[in-house]
Amino acid sequence: MTKGSEKNILVLNGPNLNMLGTREPEIYGSETLSDIEKNMITLAEELGYAIDFRQSNSESELVGWIQDARGSSSAILLNAGAFTHTSVAILDALQAVDMPIIEVHLSNIFRREKFRHHSYVSPAANGVICGFGSNSYILALEAAHKILS
């Protein structure tokens, strides 16, 4: 929720990220999505942002949220999960919003299977942060802050 003149940063998480904590912890770590959200809120408060943190397994819901960001958010941090590698619809939605976009991944997608090396999100993103586990989200927030300030 945006308070007063606080800038809102939309953090979107795609499919299966609701399973963090128990999902392949050797790849994604043991923190849950809720742990990540709490850490982001702590830093966001210090930096003067409100965080709107969401997760969906549905491509259409993610597209709708990206469309709705126009006018309500200052930046989008997006971990599109597997949709990163498949979704032209998410790319099109991102290209229709005019604000900083940071692509985030917990794992280093370039060290993994070849099908993860291509991202449909990257052409619309200011930058990509991957491979730092849950810290990727914190680094992405710092990157958005640098762009916005």
Positions annotated as catalytic residues are 28, 105
CB of 114 to ligand DQA, least distance (A): 11
**Cβ closest to ligand DQA, residue 7 vs residue 133:** 133
* Binding-site string for ligand DQA from residue 84 to residue 123, where x marks contact by CB under 6 A and - marks none: x--------------------xxx-x------x-------
**Cβ closest to ligand DQA, residue 47 vs residue 131:** 131
16: left (phi over 0), alpha (psi -120 to 50) or beta: left
* Binding-site string for ligand DQA from residue 44 to residue 83, where x marks contact by CB under 6 A and - marks none: -----------------------------------x-xx-
Binding site for ligand DQA (CB under 6 A): 16, 79, 81-82, 84, 105-107, 109, 116
